[in-house]
Amino acid sequence: MTDAPDADAALHREPRYELRVEGHLSDPLVAAFPNATGRHRPDGTTVLCVTVADQAALHAVLRTVRDLGLTLRHVARCGPGAHGPPT
């Protein structure tokens, strides 16, 4: 019998992206992004760390940014499989 894969391990295999948007987002706005955490930066931006299943899910996140009228400053893949460190 084999053990079922650990859910946390599976989560870390899914692509992760860092999105930086203009302004400090409120908790309800951060909650509009599934599988995301947010942190405010001193420069007046919010960094969202988002885990997505695939490219279609990433595009859904970007549509949410657009639909909320947010100004996108930066997008980069982070974590395993990323090309270079996130900024």
- Flag whether 83 is in a domain: no
Write out the residue range of the structural domain in which residue 32 sits. Answer: 16-78
pTM assigned to the model? 0.74
- Flag whether 33 is in a domain: yes
- Flag whether 22 is in a domain: yes
- Flag whether 10 is in a domain: no
Q: If pLDDT is split at 50, 70 and 90, which confidence band does 82 have?
A: low
pLDDT in tens, 54-63: 999 999 999 9
Cα gap 54→60, rounded to integer Å: 10
- Flag whether 9 is in a domain: no
- Flag whether 11 is in a domain: no
CA distances from 16 to 1, 3, 21, 55, 84 (A): 31, 25, 16, 11, 13
Q: If pLDDT is split at 50, 70 and 90, which confidence band does 1 have?
A: very low
Residue type, 71: T
The total number of structural domains in the chain stands at 1
Q: What is the CATH number of the domain that holds 55?
A: 3.30.70.1150
pLDDT in tens, 31-74: 999 889 999 999 999 999 999 999 999 999 999 999 999 999 99
Strands 72-78 and 45-51, by their bridges, are: unpaired
Where do we find the tokens 């084999």?
2
